[in-house]
Homo-oligomer: A and B are copies of this chain.
Amino acid sequence: MGFPRVYFKEDNDGLPPLLATCQRRVRFEEVDALGMVWHGRYPSYFEDGRIAFGDTFGLQYLGFRDNKIMAPIVQMHFDYHAPLRFDEVMTINTTLHWCEALRLNYSYEILGPDRAMACSGYTVQLFTDEMVGLLLVAPQFIEDFRQRWRAGEMGP
């Protein structure tokens, strides 16, 4: 399927994307009858990537919960390049791309033990709360996060 794509046009005012990395080992239960990780396990791998991102850059789920904000995934995409197998250790690279609009645009690269690309993809999240529904203005803790990014305090 060729190389991983550029999933987001860099609408970034020159702001660098933010990258977090984590690792995960393939469980026996994740492998299918053909000996390869079943394609439907990868949403969990992307989720591990977002958790690692939140840990690294201070954007945890519990922050959302305490502010009664939700960030539902409205779009998710996978390009599968090569299979992962039982007990292999993958590297999950998770990148947040700057976006003027109020949304979270993450792209992902999952590398196998040989550092070859196993899977790439992206997710898009919007912000909602129970009262208003879809949010068009950033809640304070998100605005703070964006300010720090703009200020270059989270650059590479």
Contact = CB atoms under 8 A, between A and B. Distances in A.
A76 B78 contact: yes
A39 B72 CA distance: 9
Contacts of A32: 28-29, 31-33
Given A77-B76, A77-B77, A27 B39 contact: no
A47 B28 CA distance: 9
A39 B70 CA distance: 13
A86 B65 CA distance: 12
A62 interface: yes
Interface of A: 1, 27-29, 31-36, 38-40, 43-44, 47-48, 51, 61-62, 70, 72-80, 83, 86-87
Closest 8 CB pairs of A and B: A40-B43, A76-B78, A39-B73, A77-B77, A31-B33, A74-B80, A33-B35, A1-B74
27 contacts: A1-B74, A1-B75, A27-B44, A27-B51, A28-B33, A28-B51, A29-B32, A29-B38, A29-B40, A31-B32, A31-B33, A32-B32, A32-B33, A33-B33, A33-B35, A33-B86, A39-B72, A40-B40, A40-B43, A61-B86, A62-B87, A75-B78, A75-B79, A75-B80, A76-B78, A76-B80, A77-B78
